[in-house]
Amino acid sequence: MSAPIELSALDLSAMLCSKVCHDVINPVAAMENGFQLLEMDQSAESRDEATKLIRDSAIKASAKLEFARIAYGSSGSPAAQLDVGDAGPLAKRLYEPDLAVNFSIPKTLMAKNRVKLLMNLMIIAGNCVPRGGTMTVDPIGDGETMGFSIKVASDKVRVHPATESLLAGTPAEPISAQTIQPFYTGVLAREQGMTIRIAAEPGGATLTAQ
């Protein structure tokens, strides 16, 4: 098996920044559209429609940024710990109501990169069910060495064919801002000495890391 490729710190950080910008540009643009609608049409119906668009888009942008701040960002020193239980409410805010999140991992302090790994696994799992469904997040083991199981179920489940090679760090194509997230997830797993596995089945997919 080929050894995982490595990106420079500059390339990795630049691509992750592009990923965050890509994720938030749609709700931010929708807010701008809402304000333009307010300026163009002052009728009560248009004001209500614009206000709802602005409010819903602001909530979505805030949820995406709050999740990304921990999933991709830095918090404290390299040896800092985070409470893995906090990932549950953040995921619910990001995905619900379209994707129901059942999160059963108890509040436990662990290495921040282990928590970041879980959150990035949830992003990959969520991408497998673009039309919504359910996501079930369970612990494997307990304590600071806990592993994770994330299962998604939906009428339409699709695991991108390049995901496994990106997680392994051996992609067939050059890495880009569009593919950096699963690659980064694999980097986090290897840093924690963990192995990620994906199992797809009709109506569902399961990602495990342990």
Q: How confident is the model at residue 40 (pLDDT cuts 50, 70, 90)?
A: confident
pLDDT at 47 over 90: no
- Could you give all domains of the chain from N- to C-terminal order, each with its CATH number? 9-209 (3.30.565.10)
pLDDT tens digits for 66-95? Answer: 999 999 987 666 668 899 999 999 999 999
Which of residues 3 and 103 earns the better pLDDT score? 103
pLDDT number for residue 44: 83
pLDDT number for residue 65: 93
pLDDT number for residue 3: 87
Environment class of 202 (CB within 10 Å of its CB; exposed 0-12, middle 13-18, buried 19+): exposed
What's the mean pLDDT when you consider all of the chain?
92
Structural element, H or E, at residue 148: strand 147-153
pLDDT number for residue 141: 95
Structural element, H or E, at residue 136: strand 133-140
Helices (H), 41-96: 44-71, 87-95
Give the number of C-alpha atoms closer than 13 A to the C-alpha of residue 36, restricted to the C-beta side.
6
Query: Residue 168: what residue type?
Result: A
DSSP codes, 99-111: EEEEE-PPP-EEE
Sequence-distant (≥ 6) Cβ neighbours of residue 39 within 8 angstroms: none
Give the SS3 label for residue 208.
strand
**Residue 74: other Cβ atoms inside 10 A:** 11
Q: How confident is the model at residue 192 (pLDDT cuts 50, 70, 90)?
A: very high
